[in-house]
């Protein structure tokens, strides 16, 4: 089934990779593409329609609590206080990384869940920036009074729903659906009950199946049910939907891109207005030569009235020319990070060499009494003893899309656990 005009495109975490769904809230959504890519950046399939992204549970933290008020205007401040109290304050420079969702009221108390998004790391956002972000549990019809378990990007997760929202969600500490996993879920539910936010206690657990080899087997269901202490059943995972309104979550990279697009649109409008005015003036003078003198006088008046605006436009253009080296898309920090990541000698099955820190510097500095653009890159990473670090050296040096950088490879050093630690630096020769 192909996407139709007016359809939304949902980018959601599936059982073993990212999925693309198309449809509307009224007609429902249909699965278009199912991938095995764990990184959103690796999904190259064509995406049509307005893109909405459901953030996976592994990147989120949920903290339900009771607010002793019915005043909705102060809930955001109370949610931030609750996050700080629990040591999960979001990063200040990562964009809009927190939100809260009301799922019920009890007397003069408001029941809500505060949510924190970990700043997306390299490769965790798709190539095309989404228009909105939300939580994957909010995109699924969670049955009330039950614990729901499903696989998401290769990990088991669980959530507890309420008629008007999601109470709690969490990623399993292990990779298996077994008795230990059931004990972990039981412990989380008991803590919620002691905090007074889980009442009544769930009476059943439902494990969603995905129609793949990773679905829970009967013996796994039995083991998990034994550890959790609740009866377990299996059911097909339902189709997703898109919450209205969506969350306010917005990573810094996407926010910065939106601001740049807005500024670019304003600049284009200014240039277009100037061009139209200029062409109109030329056409007016050429149209009637017999009344040239009169028309020249009119044109001069118009030019005089446009003088202050033209000066502002010229000043703005000069400033933009000054910033041109900084906004050169060949040296966007995010683009440079992606090219460094592509050079890793890893495969789908073996990911031995990993990056621990990448710093990209694009800024003007005063050098010998003049302004000079400095472009520098620092790459830090670790790898096991037998990992192909030498291949990574060659890949960085030979990469066509990094040919502007001159690399300096420091000799790898041993860490306490026996791994290799390496640091590479590079700069662009202007």
Helix (H) or strand (E) holding 272: helix 252-287
In a domain, 182, yes or no: yes
Closest CA to 365 of 356, 377, 374, 376: 374
The pLDDT value recorded for residue 394 is 87
Give the pair of three-digit tokens for residue 309: 């605006």
Q: Is the pTM of this model over 0.75?
A: no
Q: What sections of 101-251 are H helices per DSSP?
A: 179-194, 218-228
In a domain, 45, yes or no: no
In a domain, 47, yes or no: no
pLDDT tens-digit profile of 154-197? 999 999 999 888 999 999 988 899 999 999 999 999 999 999 99
pLDDT band at residue 295 under the 50/70/90 scheme: confident
In a domain, 197, yes or no: yes
Asked if 112 and 67 touch (Cβ cutoff 8 Å), the reply is yes
Strands, DSSP E only, in 120-243?
Answer: 132-135, 146-152, 155-162, 165-171, 204-209, 231-236
Same domain, 152 and 60: yes
Same domain, 138 and 275: no
Same domain, 318 and 339: no
Q: 212 is in which domain, residue-wise?
A: 54-236
pLDDT tens-digit profile of 164-173? 889 999 999 8
Instruction: Write down the residue that tokens 């710093």 correspond to.
Output: 359
DSSP 8-class letter at 330:
G
Same domain, 297 and 351: no
Asked if 398 and 343 touch (Cβ cutoff 8 Å), the reply is no
Query: Of 201, 236, 271, at which residue does a domain stop?
Result: 236
In a domain, 336, yes or no: yes
In a domain, 43, yes or no: no
The pLDDT value recorded for residue 257 is 52
pLDDT band at residue 291 under the 50/70/90 scheme: low
In a domain, 311, yes or no: yes
pLDDT band at residue 362 under the 50/70/90 scheme: confident
Task: Report the mean per-residue pLDDT for the chain.
Answer: 85
User: CATH number of the domain that 402 lies in?
Assistant: 3.30.70.2830
Same domain, 422 and 349: yes
pLDDT of 200 strictly over 70:
yes
pLDDT tens-digit profile of 88-120? 888 777 789 999 999 888 888 999 999 999 999
Helix (H) or strand (E) holding 413: strand 413-414
Same domain, 357 and 422: yes
The pLDDT value recorded for residue 94 is 75
The pLDDT value recorded for residue 333 is 82
Domain count across the chain: 3
Q: Is 404 strand, coil or helix?
A: coil
Query: Of 178, 211, 236, at which residue does a domain stop?
Result: 236
328 C-beta neighbours (distance < 10 Å), count = 13
In a domain, 365, yes or no: yes
pLDDT of 259 strictly over 60:
no
Asked if 185 and 173 touch (Cβ cutoff 8 Å), the reply is no
Separate counts of helices (H) and strands (E) for the chain: 7, 20
Same domain, 322 and 345: no
């Amino acid at each position: 089934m192909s996407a139709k005009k007016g359809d939304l495109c949902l980018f959601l975490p599936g059982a073993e990779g990212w999925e693309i769904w198309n449809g509307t809230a009224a007609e429902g959504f249909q699965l278009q593409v199912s991938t095995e890519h764990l990184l959103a950046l690796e999904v190259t399939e064509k995406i049509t329609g307005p893109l909405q992204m459901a953030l996976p549970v592994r990147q989120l933290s949920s903290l339900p609590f009771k607010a002793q008020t019915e005043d909705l205007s102060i809930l955001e401040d109370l949610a931030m206080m609750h996050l700080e109290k629990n040591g999960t304050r979001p990063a200040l420079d990562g964009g809009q990384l927190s939100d809260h969702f009301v799922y019920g009221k009890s007397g003069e108390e408001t029941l809500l869940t505060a949510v924190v998004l970990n700043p997306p790391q390299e490769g965790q956002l798709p190539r095309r920036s989404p228009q909105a972000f939300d939580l994957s549990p909010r995109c699924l019809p969670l049955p009330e009074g039950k614990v729901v378990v499903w696989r998401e990007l290769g990990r088991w997760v669980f959530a507890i729903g309420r008629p008007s929202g999601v109470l709690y969600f969490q990623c399993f500490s292990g990779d298996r659906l077994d008795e230990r996993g059931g004990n972990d879920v039981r412990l989380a539910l008991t803590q919620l009950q002691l905090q007074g936010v889980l009442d009544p206690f769930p009476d059943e657990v439902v494990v969603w199946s995905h129609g793949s080899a990773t679905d829970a087997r009967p013996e796994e269901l039995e083991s998990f049910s034994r550890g959790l202490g609740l009866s377990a059943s299996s059911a097909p995972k339902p189709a997703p939907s898109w919450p209205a309104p969506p969350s306010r979550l917005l990573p810094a990279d996407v926010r910065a891109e939106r601001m740049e697009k807005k500024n670019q649109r304003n600049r284009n409008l200014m240039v277009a207005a100037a061009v139209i005015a200029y062409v109109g003036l030329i056409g007016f003078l050429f149209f009637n030569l017999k009344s040239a003198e009169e028309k020249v006088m009119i044109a001069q008046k118009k030019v005089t009235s446009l003088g202050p605006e033209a000066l502002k436009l010229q000043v703005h253009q000069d400033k933009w020319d000054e910033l041109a080296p900084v906004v050169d898309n060949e040296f966007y920090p995010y683009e440079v990070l992606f090219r460094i990541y592509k050079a890793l000698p890893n495969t789908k099955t073996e990911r031995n060499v990993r990056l621990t820190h990448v710093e990209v510097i694009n800024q003007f500095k005063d050098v010998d009494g003049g302004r000079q653009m400095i472009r520098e890159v620092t790459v830090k990473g670790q790898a096991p003893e037998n990992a192909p670090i030498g291949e990574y050296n060659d890949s960085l040096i030979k990469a066509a899309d990094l040919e502007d950088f001159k690399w300096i490879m420091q000799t790898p050093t041993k860490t306490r656990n026996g791994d290799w630690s390496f640091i590479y630096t590079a700069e662009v020769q202007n």
